[in-house]
């Protein structure tokens, strides 16, 4: 059976912002830097679609592996598997 739609389907509630957090994104959040080995949390910024990961990884803890262009390569534990994602820094929070 073929799935219709993209990876953003059925994410209306998951990707909504709190009404006080709406508006422009601060540049410090957009250009934040991380070092290799830093612990971060994946928290999506719905206003920026660039470098967004799949919604199933929302809220996961990750470790920075390195930098790929303007994005970061992060490693997460998904059940028993280690997975690598490429995520824009606007979708990461320092832990």
Residues whose CB falls within 8 Å of the CB of residue 57, separated by 6 or more in sequence, listed in order: 42, 76, 78, 85
| Segments forming the whole domain that contains residue 78 | 34-94
Domain count, the chain: 1
- Work out the end-to-end distance of the chain between its first and last CA atoms, rounded to an integer number of angstroms: 40
Give the model's pLDDT for residue 85: 97
What is the C-alpha to C-alpha distance for residues 21 and 45, in angstroms, rounded to an integer? Answer: 11
Residue 89 covered by a domain = yes
Q: Quick count: other Cβ atoms within 10 Å of Cβ 94? A: 10
Integer CA distances (angstroms), 56 to 15, 20, 95, in order: 12, 25, 20
Give the model's pLDDT for residue 32: 95
CATH of the domain at 86: 2.30.30.70
Residue 47 covered by a domain = yes
Residue 57 covered by a domain = yes
pTM of model > 0.75: yes
Residue 16 covered by a domain = no
pLDDT digits (tens, 9 = 90+) for 32-75: 999 999 999 999 999 999 999 999 999 999 999 999 999 999 99
Give the model's pLDDT for residue 8: 84
Residue 86 covered by a domain = yes
The distance of Cα 40 from the centroid of its chain, to the nearest Å, equals: 10
Integer CA distances (angstroms), 8 to 4, 14, 95, in order: 11, 10, 26
Lowest mean pLDDT segment, chosen from 20-24, 61-65, 88-92: 20-24
């Amino acid at each position: 059976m073929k799935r219709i739609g993209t990876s953003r389907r059925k994410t209306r509630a998951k990707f909504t912002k709190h009404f006080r957090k709406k508006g422009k994104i601060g540049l410090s959040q957009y250009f934040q830097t991380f070092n290799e080995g830093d612990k971060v949390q994946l928290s999506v910024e719905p206003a920026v679609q660039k470098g967004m990961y799949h919604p199933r990884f929302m809220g996961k803890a990750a470790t920075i592996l390195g930098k790929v262009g303007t994005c970061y390569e992060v490693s997460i534990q998904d059940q028993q598997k280690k997975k690598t994602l490429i995520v824009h820094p606007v979708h990461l929070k320092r832990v």
